[in-house]
Chains A and B, each alone.
Chain A
Amino acid sequence: MSIKRTTQWQVWVAGSLVGAMALAGCGGSSDASSTGADTVNLVGFSILEQANKQVIADFGRTAAGKGVGFTTSYGASGDQSRAVEGGLDADVVHFSLEPDVQRLVDSKQVRPDWDATADKGIVTQSVVVLVVRKGNPKHITSWDDLVKPGVKVITPNPASSGSAKWNVLAAYGHVIADGGTPAQATAYLKRFFGNVAALPGSGRDATTAFESGNGDVLLSYENEAILARQNGAEFDYVVPDQDLLVQNPAAVTTDAGPAAKRFLSFLTGTKAQTDYAREGFRPLRSGIKVGVKGANDPGNPFPVPSKLLTIDKDFGGWDKADSKFFDDSTGIVTKIQAETGKQ
């Protein structure tokens, strides 16, 4: 009798789980009242979800966006890019890093000249920050503090999370920014990975691990730290003096309609950039003044680091950086990671 009971229970649970997943799958769809004519399928990386609600609502209030319906899908940037490559309907894609767009250029779903815009295809940007425990008990103020003995660092794994590559490049780049040689930068990275206490698979997992008490420092982006603090997270963050500009590209796919193109150009405009800034993204252009709740100083939310590297200027673009640092067998970071942990 108890077996029968259990079976029914299992069926019930399985049923509700399937239902929950189906609901989750549809989550976020049809934000605006779709009048049928124009629907934009927006595929983006996870952190955009909250900010985009406001952006989409504001787009709907413009002449260009009137009556445009949206279907949205958010997830890890690499997963989203592979999903579009595999057939997920997308008109506008917005990813954490350029190689995820490049994948769609290679599969001929995005035109090769997608980045020939005033902003080189970039729509949102941020910087890498050092997230620390409330009150900064370990006095972390710079990159050099991360490699001190006894400091436990958490960063998403650059091997499995494309967006974590920004963190590692920032760590490497700070040595170069200070006039160091590539050999010195590599040596720093070795010590850095020696202090890494966990390499969660994604940025979200890393934040969860950190919030559960893991580690002393979490490498994250300024916008993620600000958003988490807006949502009540109890931690501080430090913008290091030498930093890397995190640039998130967006593009329309080859089968996108005019509404999608209008939306993409709306994204780089003042209104959308202000919305993004409120959620912690650094505006593409100066002149957008907005108070940002959750920032260290809400009145001056985006302090400019004394040296700000960019992927194009200082690393020769993603193509070069990817093969130099993250190649499966010869990448600098790949090799360091394979060496760490060995006795």
Chain B
Amino acid sequence: MTTALVPRIPAPGSAPGPGAVGRPARRRRAARPGALGAASGLGLGVALLWFSLLVLVPLAMVVATAGSEGWSGFAGTLTSSQTLSAVELTVAQAVMVTLLNVVVGTAIAWVLVRDRFWGRRVLDVVIDIPFALPTIVAGLVLLALYGPDGPLGVDVANTRAAVFLALAFVTLPFVVRTVQPVLEELDADVEEAAASLGAGRLTVFRRIVLPALVPAITAGAALSFARGISEYGSLVLLSGNLPNRTEVASVRVLTFIENGDTTSAAAVATLLLLVALAVIVLLDVLQRRVARRG
């Protein structure tokens, strides 16, 4: 795997790490620069067209709508304390849930790949349920379980914990599903080699396994965060939508739309887009740092 195509040259002095683990990003890009075959040209065209129709144009429209009343209208919406409080709550809960997912999701992926136990296959399939369930159904289930009449005796209805719980539920699969395939491909030989050379289990995990998983974990974290800040259906029944307490950004957006104020709705949406972009960039930087250290 340590082929001549890999553009990244190991820093002098650093031990030549096992190629399979290094997983340098964008390995293929260096191949035959500039020469685009007919098939790949078509592929690129279709991809760009599809991406534009589904992503770029709608996003551009959101941003354009947000700016239609100028900077003061945009700033005016976002500095209202009720909106600001909703955005703060949403981002804070999404960050916390993402951190939780990074730890728990990686652990679940590890268990699913490395451990053999009864019911593993079932668990493997059930992980995806939060993806498949319509979010409002998820909300109903959560309300029935963790509401005032819940059989577990846990009542988080109309509190901030309800927001956290709903987000944790719907974003659970992201990190699991991004880490799992990478873990499956990971060669156990390398870990065994490291162990035979005297590395402790923690060192093996930290120096061998984790660097290989970091790109997958950050990808899952980005998905999880992005989904978290935009979530509506699953938390709207349980959280109570109380202004300044449990009201999330998507509920603010809905309120603006209900009152015919699409500019303000788009302004909040644009802010969320910017936050998501910032977090995704941050995660990417983080991932490169960690990968380089590995």
A-side residues, CB < 8 A to B, are 2-3, 5-6, 9-10, 13-14, 17, 78, 82, 103, 157, 159-162, 196-201, 205, 208-209, 212-214, 326, 328, 337-338, 340-342
Summed over the interface, the residue pairs from A and B with CB atoms below 8 Å come to a total of 105
Among candidates B125, B134, B251, residue contacting A160 with C-beta atoms closer than 8 Å: B251
Check B236 against A159 for contact (C-beta < 8 Å).
no
Check A2 against B240 for contact (C-beta < 8 Å).
no
Other than the given A197-B240, A199-B241, A341-B242, 9 more pairs (CB < 8 A) read A2-B121, A3-B180, A103-B260, A157-B251, A162-B258, A196-B242, A212-B157, A213-B149, A214-B147
In the complex, A199 Cα to B248 Cα: how many Å? 12
**Interface check B273, CB cutoff 8 A:** no
> Known contacts A201-B251, A338-B82; is A13 also within 8 Å of B132 by CB?
yes
Q: What are 7 pairs between A and B in contact, CB < 8 Å? A: A9-B125, A159-B259, A160-B251, A160-B255, A212-B148, A213-B148, A328-B261
**Interface check B200, CB cutoff 8 A:** no
Q: Which residues of B contact A214 (CB under 8 A)?
A: 143, 147-148, 157-158, 240
**Interface check B245, CB cutoff 8 A:** yes
**Interface check B124, CB cutoff 8 A:** yes
Q: How far is the CB of B7 from chain A (nearest CB, A)?
A: 30
Q: How far is the CB of B158 from chain A (nearest CB, A)?
A: 5
Check B236 against A6 for contact (C-beta < 8 Å).
no
**Interface check B254, CB cutoff 8 A:** yes
Check B125 against A6 for contact (C-beta < 8 Å).
yes
B-side residues, CB < 8 A to A, are 80-82, 121, 124-125, 128, 131-132, 134, 140, 143-144, 147-150, 157-158, 180-181, 184, 236-237, 240-245, 247, 251, 254-255, 257-261, 264
In the complex, A193 Cα to B103 Cα: how many Å? 40
In the complex, A337 Cα to B247 Cα: how many Å? 11
In the complex, A342 Cα to B80 Cα: how many Å? 13
Among candidates A10, A13, A159, A200, residue contacting B258 with C-beta atoms closer than 8 Å: A159
Chain A: CB-nearest residue to B236: A201
> Known contacts A13-B132, A162-B258, A209-B143; is A198 also within 8 Å of B244 by CB?
no
Chain B: CB-nearest residue to A156: B241
In the complex, A201 Cα to B257 Cα: how many Å? 12
Check B245 against A200 for contact (C-beta < 8 Å).
no
Check B261 against A5 for contact (C-beta < 8 Å).
no
Q: Which residues of A contact B244 (CB under 8 A)?
A: 338, 340-342
In the complex, A250 Cα to B81 Cα: how many Å? 38
Check A212 against B125 for contact (C-beta < 8 Å).
no
Among B81, B140, B260, max chain A CB count under 10 A is at: B260
Q: Which residues of B contact A197 (CB under 8 A)?
A: 158, 240
Check A198 against B242 for contact (C-beta < 8 Å).
yes
Q: Which 8 A-B pairs have the closest CB atoms?
A: A213-B149, A198-B240, A341-B244, A213-B148, A341-B245, A13-B132, A159-B255, A199-B241
Q: Which residues of A contact B241 (CB under 8 A)?
A: 157, 160, 198-201
Q: Which residues of B contact A78 (CB under 8 A)?
A: 258
In the complex, A121 Cα to B149 Cα: how many Å? 42
In the complex, A160 Cα to B256 Cα: how many Å? 8
> Known contacts A17-B134, A201-B241, A209-B237; is A161 also within 8 Å of B157 by CB?
no
Check B157 against A198 for contact (C-beta < 8 Å).
yes
Q: Which residues of A contact B150 (CB under 8 A)?
A: 213
In the complex, A199 Cα to B241 Cα: how many Å? 5
Among candidates A13, A159, A200, residue contacting B240 with C-beta atoms closer than 8 Å: A200
In the complex, A327 Cα to B228 Cα: how many Å? 30
Check B147 against A201 for contact (C-beta < 8 Å).
no
Q: How far is the CB of A282 from chain B (nearest CB, A)?
A: 26
Chain A: CB-nearest residue to B238: A209
Chain A: CB-nearest residue to B134: A17
> Known contacts A10-B132, A159-B259, A213-B148; is A5 also within 8 Å of B240 by CB?
no
Q: Which residues of B contact A3 (CB under 8 A)?
A: 180-181, 184
Q: Which residues of A contact B121 (CB under 8 A)?
A: 2, 5
Check A212 against B243 for contact (C-beta < 8 Å).
no
> Known contacts A209-B143, A214-B158; is A199 also within 8 Å of B254 by CB?
no
